[in-house]
């Protein structure tokens, strides 16, 4: 009596799904923090000032450089120019080392 039966295709009524629209999902959007917000939070919360509850990072957080001091302009490198610059510096250092040894 409780045996499931697979229905015939003729018995199943066709549904018109073309006019049905699914409801949009509801997703909670979290705001992404900026570097400025993270810097402010770093000084506020003690959780960032210790590592594993044992290592004190307060001294490190006091001397961290701000983001605007770390930003550098993009400079393209020319291989020939870079090689010439480095090799001339090495030759200069080598010549100074030779002069010091002679003295």
Question: pTM of the full predicted structure?
Answer: 0.30
Give the pLDDT score at 37: 79
Beta bridge partners of 51: 55
Flag residues of the chain having pLDDT under 50.
none
CA atoms in the 13 A half-sphere facing the CB of 6: 1
Q: What percent of the chain has pLDDT over 90?
A: 17
What is the phi/psi pair of residue 32, to 5°? Answer: -85, 130
Sheet strands (E) in the chain: 50-51, 55-56
Quick one: pLDDT at residue 40?
A: 74
- The pLDDT value given to residue 42: 66
What does the pLDDT read at residue 1?
A: 65
Give the bridge partners for 56, in sequence order.
50
Task: Give the per-residue pLDDT at 49.
Answer: 67
């Amino acid at each position: 009596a409780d045996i499931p039966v697979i229905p015939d295709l003729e018995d199943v009524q066709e549904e018109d799904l073309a006019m049905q629209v699914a409801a949009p999902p509801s997703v909670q959007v979290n705001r992404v923090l900026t570097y400025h917000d993270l810097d402010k939070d770093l000084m506020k919360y003690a959780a960032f000032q210790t590592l594993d509850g044992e290592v004190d990072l307060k001294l490190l957080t006091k001397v961290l450089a701000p983001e605007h001091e770390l930003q550098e302009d993009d400079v393209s490198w020319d291989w020939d120019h870079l090689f010439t610059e480095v090799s001339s510096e090495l030759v200069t250092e080598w010549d100074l080392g030779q002069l010091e040894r002679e003295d």
